[in-house]
Amino acid sequence: MLSKSKTWVKHRLSRALGLPQLHSHLCQIQQSLPALSHRLVTIEEDLHRVTDRLAVAAPAPAVPSPPQADRTSEYFIKFPPYSPHLQPELLNYWDPVRSLTVALAIERIKKERIHGNLAELGVFQGHLSRFLHLLAPDRTLYLLDTFQGFPEQDLESFQTGDKRFSETSLEIVEKNIGDLTNVVIKQGYFPDTAAGLENEQFCFVMLDVDLYKPTLAGLDFFYPRLAPGGYMFLHDYNWIESNRAVSRALDAFMADKPEHLVEIPDAWGTVLFRKQ
């Protein structure tokens, strides 16, 4: 009788505390654990994929400007072959390694009497265009850009919706360049805007479009029209921009060409070659 009532009390207590439900919940949780842990692994994999995509599509981080003292000091060329009045402006460009290398190339072109005009494919607001024109004002400078940012049809799947470089206009570019004598602006989608330039010869080409498709199109168009000894510069070669679009395009294009690439340590890893 006593043991019977003990069992009854235990049963009532256990029910009062909700122990059977608790036990059944614990069993259910235990059963779901393998599925939950599998789900966690797939979530973690998804997260890795998203992080990788973000790293590739992320806009280039800002590069701090070198301290002012470095720009005018003995670290930069003291007796430049180009006109000394250009020196302060070239040094004050935010990436003086780039502007000074371009300046030396254009002086060499003049010294070696390499024929042809200049072109910049990918102009944005025209800051580099200004130097190109100041350094060779007597030659025609062709500037090619949508001036509305990246064309949607050139973006790769991981770049959809990249709206960079749309904050520009013809007015901004013209104002930055100043004197527009011998400057020809071709606004629109490249290679469509190359129409009419088929018979041109170039002594200097700056390719700076960031994306795979127009970089390859630029190489296809300008390489055969580059004079022997002429310079081709490609910005962003040693940079992750657009999942290394520039090096993907250039390495594929140059595989059967005789020229060798020269890398320079400017902010975005420019590469250049001279046509044989």
Ligand X SMILES: C[S@@+](CC[C@H](N)C(=O)[O-])C[C@H]1O[C@@H](n2cnc3c(N)ncnc32)[C@H](O)[C@@H]1O
Which stretches of the chain bind ligand X, using CB under 6 A?
A: 120, 122-124, 127-128, 145-146, 149-151, 154, 165, 189-190, 208-211, 214
Nearer to ligand X, 116 or 122 (CB): 122
Minimum distance from CB of 126 to ligand X (Å)?
7
- At its nearest, how many Å lie between ligand X and the CB of residue 147? 7
Please spell the DSSP secondary structure of 61-129, one letter per residue: PPPPPPPHHHHHSTTS-SS-SS-GGGHHHHHHSS-HHHHHHHHHHHHHHHHTT---EEEEE--TTSHHH
Give me the least distance between CB of 189 and ligand X, in Å please.
5
Residue 190 vs 273, nearer CB to ligand X: 190
Q: Please name the residue ranges forming H helices in 158-233.
A: 170-177, 212-222
Kindly state the smallest distance separating residue 208's Cβ from ligand X, in Å: 4
Own/partner contacts of 258-266, CB < 8 Å, gap of 24 or more, are 261/237, 263/237, 263/238, 264/97, 264/98, 264/101, 265/97, 266/95, 266/97, 266/98, 266/101
Closest to ligand X by CB, 109 vs 206, is: 206
Contact of 177 with 183, CB cutoff 8 Å = yes
Q: Are strands 271-274 and 262-263 parallel, antiparallel or unpaired?
A: antiparallel
| 183 or 209: CB nearest ligand X | 209
Q: Which residue number has the CB closest to ligand X? A: 122
Nearer to ligand X, 165 or 202 (CB): 165
Instruction: Report the nearest approach of ligand X to the CB of residue 194 (Å).
Output: 10
